[in-house]
Each structure stands twice: as C-alpha cells, then as structure tokens.
Structure 1
Amino acid sequence: MTQTTPSGRVLIIAGSDSGGGAGIQADIKTVTRFGAYAATAVTAITVQNTLGVSDVHAIPAPVVAAQIRAVLDDIGADVVKTGMLATAELVHAVADALDASGFKGKLVIDPVMVSTSGDRLLADNAVEALKARLIARADVVTPNLAEAAVLTGRPIHSPFDMARAGQEILALGARAAIMKGGHLEDETVTDLLVTADDIKSIEGAKIDTRHTHGTGCTLASGVAAALALGDDLPTAFVRARGFVANAIAAAPGFGKGHGPLGHATADVPEGEGA
C-alpha cells in the first residue's frame, strides 16, 4: 500500500474566545468547514462574550512553544496561522518554535491587536517583535484598518491608503497582504490582495448587521485552510472572503453585542482545491 503525504493540515496559534465567536473557536470552525484539519496551540485564555473582553490570561511561553512542537513533530502542518499573541515574549516563543521545528509550510499572520468591541489584545511592546519575527517571514498578513495603521504608522481612510499600507507591509518582508476595508465609512466593502506584482480588489455591498464578531479570524483561517488544501493565494482570498460574507448572512443572532457568525451553515465557495 502506497502512503501519500497528508495535506490540508492547519496549525492555529491563537487565543481562546469563551464566547466562541472569534479566536481559536472561530478558526477551528472555519478550517473544519473548508474540509481541512485544524490543530491548535493556545496562546491566551480570554474571558469574553459579544459585549467585550473582561479578562485575558496569557499562557506561559514555554507551554505555547511545547504545543507547537507537539503538533509539528507528529501531525505536521501545511500552513501555520497565527492570531492573538498578546505579548512580545509569546511572539518570540512562537518564532523560535517554528525555527526549531524547521517548519517549511506557509505562514498566515493575522496581526490581532484590538477586538471587535475595542479591547486591546496585543501589548504595545509586542508590535515591533511581531513585525521583525513573524510578519517579515509571512506568506500573507491580514490586518484590518486599525492594525494596518499601527503596523505602518499611517492613518487609513480610503482604498488608496489601503493599497499603500499593503505595499509598506510587503516592505517589512511579507510576500502578500490582504487589506480588509470593512471599517471604511462607505456603502461598499473593498478588500485588497496586495502582492509585489499586482493588487487584486474585491468589492461587495456592506451588510447592515451587528453580528460581525470574528470576521478577521474567519477570513485568515479561510485563507489558511484553502492554501493548505492546494489553492493558490488569489483563489484562497476569493474563497475566504466569500465564506465570511456567507457566514455574516447566516449569523444566528446570538448575544446582546457584536454577535458571532454562522460558521456551521455558511456555504464555502468552490475553488481549485475544493
């Protein structure tokens, strides 16, 4: 019997959301819905619901690194996706663990800094570490407008600003940036895939809803899952963005604040790796 190399494995390195709408929980739901396999290394435990984050407990860096080693030494991963890393110590621990493992797959960095409800999720002194240790080696970075502004030092008010910020993120070493325009004051949502060779733009009508908790995590995990299943980056971008729109439309309506998406029932757009 001939053994084949497994594919479709995503290692998610991120924080836990007790409300289930974002973080590790949204990541697992998304990767599973795409048909890929999700393994995890939990970086922090948050106490949160749709109204906000009331407490954060960072997991000790050696424990995070041990989780990463345990997965990569046995199951392996085609793609590593990072989310909430909380502290500079955790950023360094993740980068060191990936180096020590000899990881050769793709790296998707969601530079989680602020929650949908406005709570800070990354220490100020961790931003430079994130840039130098992880963004510099990323295959794709997926910032929202506020995160892109922190990474580049520029306010972002238009798709033109988004494109310029994406190019500046590429200058940090990343191979690509997906710039999410959902927070622009506009009737439409414009998202960009910025690479050294091209800028791909997708526009869609803005959905009038408060149920948008975890959209960033979902997009990044959709990209990671699609890449792990064999899609190229432009296809992964289109499929992940479509899934987010479908999941917003399928939101179950839970909670009194920014509610979770409908991961379980949302359709996954077809693609080359589907």
Structure 2
Amino acid sequence: MYFIRKHAAMALLFSLTACATQVPLQAETAVSNTKMAAMADADSWTYLSPAQIDSTRFLGPPPDAAATRREIEFMLSLQAQRTPAQVKLAVADHEQSVFRFASIIGDGFRPDRLPLTASLFETLHETGNVMEKQGKNKWKRVRPPLADARIQPVAKYSRSGSYPSGHATFSFLSAIVLADLLPEKSEQIFARAREFGENRVIGGVHYPSDVAAGQRLATLIAVLIQQNPAFQQDFAAARAELRAAMHLP
C-alpha cells in the first residue's frame, strides 16, 4: 500500500512501529459471510482495539482555557460569515460515510455497487469510533455550543466529549485509505477530507483543535492497522472491486 507508507506521516510511522508489533492484532478472515454475521452480533468489529494502545499518549491534551476562548472567537467570526451553501454542506456532512466522497470520485461510487468497499469503510468507521472514545472520555472537553451560548450550531452533534472530533477522525482515516485505493485522485480526496473537518467548525460543533486531533488520530490508526491481516485482506478485496468498477488497472 504505497500511498499510506509514503504519506501517512513518516515520522509517526517510525515512532509507532514498535507499538504496533508488540501487541496481538486481530487475524480475522477477509470479507465473508462469517465476518458479516460477526459484525451483526458483536458490539463492534474493528481493525484496532483500545486495549492495544492508548491513543491519548500521542494526541496530547486539548488546549487550555485561554486557547479555547481564542478558538471560540475564531468560530464566532466564521459564524458571522457563513453562507447558506456552507450551512447546507455542514448539515449534510454530519453523515459519516465514505460515499460522501462521491462528489469527487463519481456517481458510480455507491454502496449498492461496491459492497466490499462499503464493508471496509464501515469497519474503519467502527475502528475510529472505539479509538476516539479514549480521548473523549479522558478529557470530556465541553462542546463549543455548550461552552458559549453565542455559538449557534447548524450541524448535529452529541453531548459526548468534543476532543478529538470523531467526524474528522473518520473523514481523514477514510481519505488516507481511499487515496491508497485511488492514488489518481489523492489530491481531491484529501481536499474533501479537510472540508469535512472544516464543516464541523463552520457548523459550530467542534473547535479547530478537535479537528486537528482527529486528523492525528486518523494517521495513528492508519499506521497501526497496516499490520492487521484482516485489514490487509479487506483492503485488497475493496481495491480489486473499486478499481474494476472504475475501469482502472
């Protein structure tokens, strides 16, 4: 997987390789009836378990109160300038699905046409969910609208901790893997991932530092799952399916 090896933060790769090899990673089969049944029965099916690594060691804590106030002022300036089009996109980007990238990949990028690709990214979504909870539960950072009544959110949000952003984690993790599947579109893919994160700030539901932390967490996950046989097999199956559907070599 050349793209991930080259672009998923080489310094992070070197520093985390030892961590990845010192813990037992899942060695499940590729996408199959067995896997689909397990996904239906299990609380979560992931490529990385929170028991394997404490991601908060690599994220670091959220900004202090003074920095948070500066972030709120920045968000208020964005709020005053946001357009109806930005509001519409921020609302739509609440959906955590890799198929939100269809706008830059093409109309054929749909789950009904790409079941193996859908399965890969559903598992990545679950992986991001369980890992992001480490930081959310540890720091319990209060969401911007709950911290300052002047923030008027337009996007949906939960009452869970704000740091790191789960949407940014998923969008950037999806971008890293999707860009490795389709390196021909890597630039557009990462631009769209950045837009996902920005829309959580424009939408009034995450601080900029939440989004930055989500991007760092996504990179950490992307590096560590490279040695998981289940990810390797699911990635290979999705790559063959997706590239065939797009008539690419």
Give the structure-1-normalised TM-score: 0.22
Answer 1 or 2: which has greater strand percent. Answer: 1
Give the structure-2-normalised TM-score: 0.23
In our comparison, the structure showing a higher alpha carbon Rg is: 2
